[in-house]
């Protein structure tokens, strides 16, 4: 993007002389490569979520284990990914959009989490709904924290080992 006003075909600034002319911006180009990897990743993540949902069916008043497993495991993977993308592979422009937004965005399903809570409540399984509501929230937060902590510890260990190996040589 640019801070200059948008240009017309004749080269004059759009809205020149208007009170808000400085606030207009030229529209940025579409980042097709980013949109492409997000789309591909989203398809992969959605298929993985669908497959797990089919493998772990749930009754109308039962605990929705498939959605719980998907969201908590997705949170662990988001924690792992954020450490790897920021500390191990920081220069890979398409990695975070592909894995974070695409695969894990398509895989996790917090909208289904809300629908499951509504379904359980409507079926009279209020205790199960509340347990699911609180359990998913706590487990998801702990999963992100665990993923970040374990991955950061592993990365630090590998770096220290490599440093020691270089010092020995």
- Residue numbers in the known binding site for Na(+) are 105, 108
Q: Which two tokens stand for residue 32?
A: 């097709």
Nearest to 58 by CA among 132, 134, 110, 130: 132
CA distances from 154 to 10, 57, 82, 91, 137 (A): 58, 35, 14, 20, 26
Q: Which residues share a beta bridge with 129? A: none
The 3-state DSSP class for residue 29 equals: coil
Q: Is 13 helix (H, G, I), strand (E, B) or coil?
A: strand
Residues comprising the binding site? 105, 108
Cβ 8 vs Cβ 21: under 8 Å: no
Which residues 6+ apart lie within 8 Å of 25 measured at CB? 1, 2, 3, 5, 6
């Amino acid at each position: 993007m640019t801070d200059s006003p948008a240009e017309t075909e004749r080269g004059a600034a759009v809205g020149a002389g208007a009170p808000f002319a400085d606030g207009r911006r030229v529209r940025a180009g579409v980042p097709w490569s980013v949109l492409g990897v997000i789309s591909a990743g989203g398809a992969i993540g959605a298929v993985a979520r669908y497959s797990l949902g089919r493998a772990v069916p749930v009754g109308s008043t039962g605990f929705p284990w498939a959605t719980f497993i998907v969201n908590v495991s997705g949170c662990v993977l988001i924690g792992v990914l954020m450490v790897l993308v920021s500390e191990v592979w920081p220069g890979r422009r398409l990695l975070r959009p592909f894995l974070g937004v695409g695969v894990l965005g398509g895989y996790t399903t917090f909208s289904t989490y809300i629908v499951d809570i509504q379904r359980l409540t409507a079926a009279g399984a209020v205790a199960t709904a509340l347990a699911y509501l609180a359990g998913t929230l706590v487990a998801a937060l702990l999963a992100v924290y665990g993923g970040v902590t374990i991955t950061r510890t592993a990365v630090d260990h590998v770096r220290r080992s490599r440093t020691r190996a270089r010092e020995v040589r």
